[in-house]
């Protein structure tokens, strides 16, 4: 016990040291401009220049870069979405690495600018990288990082929140209350759909889709029907065992089945949640024809990628079917919405906040920074499923590696064995 307390004390002191160092690095930040663009500078004497196109949450990410000897310049430009011209101003004539955003167009223009400035690393502050033309980076020998492994539960929770909010008409009732319209209880006031013992359908049974499925099955004893090109045997076994537990307790068991087509999910499920990647096969996966297959009281949830739904067709369907509901975190022409969507009371719409828990957004920043710091330090690439060592361990104990480089194989980078 004494030894355990000693280790705990050392770990606590290490965390306090990290916190104090982070506070100090923030306190001594300076402000300047780069080619007319305002920036906040950390570790001014660092030998490697890293540009960060947006202020990131948390403190730990900054320490990864400072420990790697980086001068960190964080853009303070007032525009929410930076143009390529502004990003090229930030890159300038000497830049070793960049942490960019999913709202930016990282293609030949920006990667060429980074290459000409001596750039050796880029990381997207996102797990997805539809905004990045990875082949253009690979042509120029630039590793591209992303931030997987910290969004699973957070994104699944948001999808579940959208499901419940839509099914039980929470936003409509909130607007009603704030407008002072509530004069007393009524039997038919904002009557919604009960999810208990219904069927939830997911399209895409990867980590996020499976986490969402477990939440809905366990929380509401829903049966699961899913479509994915590859069976998720672990998910199927989990739900089978949960069903056996319910049976043991004298309750009806839940069931899980994988089907061969998207159409089967749409026809059978009371709730359909999208958790698929965006590619040519999933663009407008949900169109007018497939919407017409769904139950008239169904709930459609999308916290994956906006273009997976034909948004104009969805607006028409929502208007024609007032009992049909949807919950959307992403949009086809983000940040814009298709005309009429905002006027649909049966649509719950939020501004791409699926990853917006402090732990996740801070973890994403840490992984993005560790990607750049790792490449600039000459470390090998981690590319393993478990990345929590970068996020939760004391900095001194974090792996000496770049957590996730999507073109590591193409660039023949050394991997952690």
Please give the Cα distance from 117 to 237 (Å, whole number).
52
Give the angle subtended at the CA of 92 by the CAs of 86 and 97, to the nearest 5°: 95
Q: Which among 189, 193, 157, 194 is positioned nearest to 172, based on CA atoms?
A: 189
**Interior/surface letters 288-306, b for 16+ CB within 10 angstroms, e for the rest:** eebbeebbeebbbbbbbbb
Please give the Cα distance from 99 to 119 (Å, whole number).
12
CB 224 within 8 A of CB 199: yes
Asked if 352 is an active-site residue, the reply is yes
- DSSP class of residue 58 equals S
Angle between helices 152-167 and 170-178 (to 10 degrees): 60
Q: Cα-flanking dihedrals φ and ψ of residue 13, to 5°?
A: -65, -40
Q: Classify residue 267 as exposed, middle or buried by CB count within 10 Å of its CB (0-12, 13-18, 19+).
A: middle
Of the residues 305, 317, 325, 361, which is catalytic?
Answer: 305
Please give the Cα distance from 121 to 44 (Å, whole number).
20
230: region left, alpha or beta (phi > 0 left; psi from -120 to 50 alpha): beta
Asked if 258 is an active-site residue, the reply is no
Please report which helix (H) or strand (E) contains residue 242, including its range.
Answer: helix 233-248
Of the residues 76, 283, 284, 352, which is catalytic?
Answer: 352
Asked if 305 is an active-site residue, the reply is yes
Catalytic machinery residues = 305, 334, 352
């Amino acid at each position: 016990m004494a030894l355990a307390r000693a280790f705990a004390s050392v770990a606590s002191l290490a965390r306090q040291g990290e916190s104090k160092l982070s506070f100090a690095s923030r306190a001594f930040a300076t402000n300047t401009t780069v080619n007319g663009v305002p920036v906040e500078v950390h570790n001014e004497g660092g030998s490697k220049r890293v540009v960060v196109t947006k202020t990131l949450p948390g403190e730990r990410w900054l320490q990864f870069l400072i420990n790697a000897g980086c001068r960190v310049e964080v853009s303070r430009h007032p525009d929410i979405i930076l143009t390529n011209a502004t990003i090229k101003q930030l890159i300038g004539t000497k830049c070793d690495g960049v942490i960019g955003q999913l709202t930016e167009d990282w293609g030949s223009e920006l990667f060429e600018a980074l290459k000409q400035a001596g750039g050796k690393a880029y990381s997207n502050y996102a797990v997805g990288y539809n905004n990045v033309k990875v082949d253009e980076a690979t042509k120029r020998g630039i590793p591209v990082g992303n931030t997987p492994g910290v969004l699973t539960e957070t994104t699944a929770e948001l999808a579940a929140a959208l499901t419940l909010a839509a099914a039980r008409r929470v936003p409509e009732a909130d607007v009603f209350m704030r407008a002072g319209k509530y004069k007393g209880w009524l039997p038919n006031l904002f009557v919604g759909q009960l999810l208990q013992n219904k069927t939830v359908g997911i399209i895409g049974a990867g980590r996020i889709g499976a986490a969402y499925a477990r939440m809905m099955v366990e929380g509401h004893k829903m049966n699961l029907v899913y479509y994915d090109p590859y069976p998720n045997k672990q998910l199927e076994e989990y739900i089978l065992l949960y069903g056996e537990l319910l049976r043991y307790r004298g309750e009806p068991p839940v069931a899980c089945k994988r089907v061969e087509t998207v159409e089967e999910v749409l026809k059978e499920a009371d709730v359909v949640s999208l958790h698929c990647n965006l590619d040519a096969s999933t663009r407008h996966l949900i169109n007018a024809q497939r919407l017409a297959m769904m139950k008239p009281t169904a709930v459609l949830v999308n916290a994956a990628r906006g273009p997976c739904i034909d948004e104009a067709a969805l607006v028409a369907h929502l208007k024609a079917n007032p009992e049909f509901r949807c919950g959307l975190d992403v949009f086809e022409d983000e940040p814009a919405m298709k005309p009429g969507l905002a006027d649909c009371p049966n649509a719950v719409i939020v501004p791409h906040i699926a990853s917006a828990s402090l732990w996740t957004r801070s973890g994403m920043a840490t992984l993005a920074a560790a990607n750049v710091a790792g490449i600039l330090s000459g470390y090998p690439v981690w590319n393993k499923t478990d990345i929590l060592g970068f996020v939760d361990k004391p900095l001194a104990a974090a792996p000496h590696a770049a957590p996730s480089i999507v073109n590591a194989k193409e660039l023949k980078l050394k991997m952690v064995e």
